Structure 1
Amino acid sequence: MNYRQAENYILSFTDYEKIPGIAYTSANYDLRRMEKLLQPLGNPHLGTRTVHIAGTKGKGSTAVMISQTLIAAGYKTGLFTSPHLHTLRERIRINGTMISESDFAALVTKLKPIVEKINNESVYGELTTFEILTAVVFAYFKDSRVDFQVLEVGLGGRLDATNVAKADVCVITSLSLDHTEILGDTVAKIAAEKAGIIKHGCIVVSAPQVEEAAKIIEQACRQQRARLIQVGKDVTWHKTDSNLRQQTMKIKSKTGDYDLTIPLLGDHQLENAATALAALEVLVCLGAKISAQNIAQGFSQVSWPGRLQILSHEPMVVVDGAHNAYSMSKLVEFIKN
């Protein structure tokens, strides 16, 4: 297959991103078929240091801050995010560079007979677009021998295709009502699905949450004997300056103080930055060599289009991907200020 054929092949399967209201149950999202897909590839999702990120808002921004800092520290870093703006390949990056068309096509070609076999047997249901794409990600990162893989959950957490990975640090960004027809109509129900990424004995970083979500996350950590770091309590921050190009901030943790610049706008990005920093400090505790200078460099080099992105000053044109009440409120707050 060439790239166009490979892309069309993946997109020919059920794509829950385009079908609203599919019940978030193991009947539709069965991780056993994901494991069955990865097994003939040598289980590429295992054995790589992993940061796994769930949440309603801020997942991608937090992921790219972590990834960019790991790159600055000299680590070969795979980044998987969704959705994309222009091409499917944007979702899959190593050291900031998209997967090539030839590598993408080769991996899909390799996966095709395995996919056909699993779908013909249909023991656990048929594979979806996102599941096949996630398998491409794991195989690409393993073949490329990345030092770290930073994975953004596609939908929910508990039953998401990325949840077959064994994370060193699990991150839960800000939670609010979104995909309510799938994940539940309360923040507590949504939090329970997001907290499904918490594995036994892992370390969890949580962004500030409303009380009902915080209780669910704390309960999940107790059940899994997972250590919980709460941004806003264990890690605090405040803005020191901002303009229409960047923001500066000070973050204070139990291990140090950081003066950082981020080229992302909006107060919510300061929260994302504090959350990313807390996750990076966990990686340091687990043996990663990441200096304060690496963190400052990584954060200052972040690029994440479509998030309060100013395209023009005269006239003022701002592009933002807000699509729920919480993110719309942040957009309005930014414009008013």
Structure 2
Amino acid sequence: MIDDYQAALNFIHGRTKFKKIPTLDRMKRFLAELGNPQDGLTYIHVTGTNGKGSTVAMVRDALIGQGLTVGTFTSPFITRFNERIQYQGQPIADDDLVRLTRRVQLVVEKLDRILPTGGPTEFEIDTAIMFCYMAEKKPDVVILEVGIGGLYDSTNVIVPKVSVITTVGWDHMKYLGDTLGAIAHQKAGIIKEKVPIVIGKLPSEAHRVIVNEAANLNAPVYEEGVDFNVRKVNQHGLISQIIYDGIGLHHFASRLGLPGDYQVENAAVAITIVQLFMVQENLPLAPADLKQSLAATTWPGRMEIVSEEPTVILDGAHNLPGIQALVNTIHNDLGDRDVYLLVAILADKQYDLMLGELASLGNVHIMVTNFAGPSANRPSADLDDITADIRSRYPIKYAKHWQRGLESIATQLSADDVLIVTGSLYFISEVRHLFKD
């Protein structure tokens, strides 16, 4: 019996993570048993290898700033599970989570008994709880972030007003495929008939797959460099000032609340989404409010500045494209400062390539370490084993426990230096408690 918050979490996290054969049939049956709570709501659907969370945060704040009520579904969480399901930027209350988990559990137990492959997975349960919550709150729009891929993702049971593919890169190859074309095919699964799709900068192989799928479904494509453009006007600044042109905005200047060069492109995608959605809903857009919203957006664990002197940044760059984006930011905006990196990466990632990218920078001092990982099946990589094979300007150091590594770096930092903790969002979640509790 689920009678408290911990019991609800134990039930959710105790479920299997994946099934051998991907399908949406189980999710559709699950929702039908719950009365199809997903029906009757308005959606924006967002997928991509990186940039999803930041883009969702900017779109959320922008639409709230335009006077709308907004629900969001994102993953993973950084501090508490409740962060994944939000209304107006506020996480679902513990009591609501317990109540809805209890409701969902009854259906899960029924499906466990009657379905040959068993009942819903953990993420399907997360998604169902979210749909039940949104059906009660009835926001003007729900922004859904895909869990993995798109085609068979449990969120892919709706028809949105706008679809979004932020980026396509190497991640989750075990489930999505071992070519960029195969990964793009999975992400293109969220494209719907005649629904506009916004895409960020994509590799040519991925771009070809997605544009072809959009053409097959008569879905208009809005892409950076063609339908909208953005440029950063304050070079070498961690907080970007941008100028955007596209759709109905001309020479729109704004400051971004989210640090990091890669947020410039995410912001361009977000601004485009907001405009298209407002047009679809026949609502006027107030540019001054949009500017204010973009400047105020925060997103935990993504280039999050948790200390000013010295500067300490948490960045959950959890895959190769994410690390490459971080490397660009360090090179462009922090190239004249000593940057200390505390790095821990999950063992199922391309950790050798990720560490190699970081080591290519001439101004970084790297310390690799370990952390608990989300489960016994997903431990952190033993990075100490590969450091001898990676060339770097300064010797790469190793700390068995990240707490000791953090203490060691702290003794070396001057006021002008920068410390960045990175490599995994799960790692960031552990470290963040030191700064935010």
Give the structure-2-normalised TM-score. 0.72
The answer for the alignment partner of 1:272 in structure 2 is 266
Cα deviation, residue 246, structure 1 = 2.5
Deviates more, 1:311-320 or 1:205-214: 311-320
Alignment of 1:180-191 (within 5 A): 180-191=173-184
Structure 1 residues 244 and 305: alpha-carbon distance in aligned structure 2, compared to 1, 3 A threshold: farther
Q: Which of residues 304, 310, 315 in structure 1 aligns to 2:310?
A: 315
Cα deviation, residue 123, structure 1 = 4.1
Task: Calculate percent identity across the aligned residue pairs.
Answer: 35
Letter in 2 for 1:51: I
Q: Which of residues 253, 258, 262 in structure 1 aligns to 2:256?
A: 262
Q: Which of residues 203, 217, 221 in structure 1 aligns to 2:196?
A: 203
Alignment of 1:149-228 (within 5 A): 149-228=142-221
For residues 320 and 303 of structure 2, what CA distance do their matches in structure 1 show? 16
Q: Which runs of 4+ in 1 moved over 3 A?
A: 242-245, 313-316
Q: Which of residues 8, 12, 37 in structure 1 aligns to 2:30?
A: 37
Structure having greater relative contact order (Cα 8 Å, sep ≥ 6): 1
Q: Which of residues 287, 299, 305 in structure 1 aligns to 2:300?
A: 305
For residues 157 and 133 of structure 1, what CA distance do their matches in structure 2 show? 16
For residues 323 and 100 of structure 1, what CA distance do their matches in structure 2 show? 28
* CA deviation map 1:214-271 (0-9, x unaligned): 1001111111111111122110011122676622101000322211111112221010
Kindly name which structure, 1 or 2, has the bigger radius of gyration based on alpha carbons. 2
Letter in 2 for 1:13: R
Gaps of at least 5 residues in structure 2 are 333-437
* CA deviation map 1:6-54 (0-9, x unaligned): 11111110124xxxxx76xxx2x32111111111332121221100001
Letter in 1 for 2:179: T
Cα deviation, residue 325, structure 1 = 1.6
Q: How many residues align?
A: 328
The answer for the alignment partner of 1:5 in structure 2 is 7
For residues 185 and 266 of structure 1, what CA distance do their matches in structure 2 show? 29
* CA deviation map 1:306-337 (0-9, x unaligned): 11222334333221111222211121222233
Contact kept? 1:32, 1:124, Cα under 8 Å: no
The answer for the alignment partner of 2:139 in structure 1 is 146
For residues 324 and 16 of structure 2, what CA distance do their matches in structure 1 show? 32
Letter in 1 for 2:4: N
The answer for the alignment partner of 2:384 in structure 1 is none
Contact kept? 1:33, 1:125, Cα under 8 Å: no
For residues 163 and 92 of structure 1, what CA distance do their matches in structure 2 show? 17
Once superposed, what is the RMSD of the aligned Cα atoms?
1.6
The answer for the alignment partner of 2:66 in structure 1 is 73
The answer for the alignment partner of 1:285 in structure 2 is 279
Contact kept? 2:238, 2:261, Cα under 8 Å: no
Contact kept? 2:170, 2:180, Cα under 8 Å: yes
Deviates more, 1:274-283 or 1:255-264: 255-264
Give the structure-1-normalised TM-score. 0.93
Cα deviation, residue 185, structure 1 = 1.2
For residues 76 and 242 of structure 1, what CA distance do their matches in structure 2 show? 35
